[in-house]
Structure 1
Amino acid sequence: MKVNVQTPNFAADDKLIGFIERRLNKLEQFYDKIVFADVFLKVQKTSEKQNKVVEILVSIPGDELMVKKEARTFEIGTDECVQSLERQLKKRKQKQRAHF
């Protein structure tokens, strides 16, 4: 799967990008037809501690899944997004099995 990380207004370090790629590659265990994933990392200018926004768009044949989470760190936000995508992909796979 191709992972594209976009970070407007700041530069992400290689450790963070590697972490995101490892997490997203684990999704292929649950659904092996993932084409690519676009990851958007944003920092909101607020006084709140949860000012990091992680948006992940996963493209699968015939559809796209989009998840957006706010967290204290990009790592926590990525974990929450991946867990949500994992549930969605499992649900989609079960629906496909029901049709065959």
Structure 2
Amino acid sequence: MKVNTQSVNFNADPKLITFIQKRMDKLDLFYDKVIQSNVYLKLDNTSSKENKIFEARVHVPGDSLVVKKQCKSFEEGADMAASSLERQLKKRKQKLRPRS
């Protein structure tokens, strides 16, 4: 799957981008018709520790799934967003499966 990663107002580490690519590639195991995904990494200007925003938009035929998580680290946000997307993709696959 093609993953476009954009970091807003900072430069993302190549290790972080590789981690996100691997984590998003695992979504193909749950739903094989994923076209591409766009990931946005943002830093919130607050004094709290949870100031990292991870937003993922996954494009599937006829729709797109959006998940937005705010965490202490981008890795934690990627894990939480990926698990949420797994549930959404499984649900979508169940709805498309013909009933017999």
Q: Corresponding residue for 1:68?
A: 68
What letter matches 1:87 in structure 2?
A: R
Shift of 1:8: 1.3
TM-score (norm 2): 0.97
Q: How far off its partner does 1:40 sit?
A: 0.2
What is the CA–CA distance in structure 2 between the aligned matches of 1:94 and 1:54, rounded to whole Å?
27
- Per-residue CA distance 1:16-59 (angstroms, 9 max, x = gap): 00000000000000000000000000000101000000000000
| Unmatched runs of 5 consecutive residues or more in structure 2 | none
Q: Secondary structure at the match of 1:24?
A: helix
Q: What does residue 33 of structure 1 align with?
A: 33
Query: Deviations 1:47-91 (Å, cap 9, x if unpaired)?
Result: 100000000000000000000000000000010000000000000
User: Quick one: distance in 1 between partners of 2:77 and 2:3?
Assistant: 16
User: TM-score, normalised to structure 1's length?
Assistant: 0.97
CA RMSD of aligned residues (A): 1.0
Q: Which amino acid aligns with 2:81?
A: C
Paired residue total: 100
Which residue identity lines up with residue 83 of structure 1 in the other structure?
S
Q: Secondary structure at the match of 2:97?
A: helix
Deviates more, 1:22-31 or 1:89-98: 89-98
Structure 2 distance, partners of 1:94, 1:14, is 36
- 1:45 and 2:49 matched: no
Q: Which runs of 4+ in 1 moved over 4 A?
A: none
Could you tell me how far apart the structure 1 residues matched to 2:58 and 2:94 are? 18
Aligned to 2:92: 92
Find the aligned partners of 1:44 and 1:52 in 2 and give their Cα distance: 6
- Cross-structure match for 1:19: 19
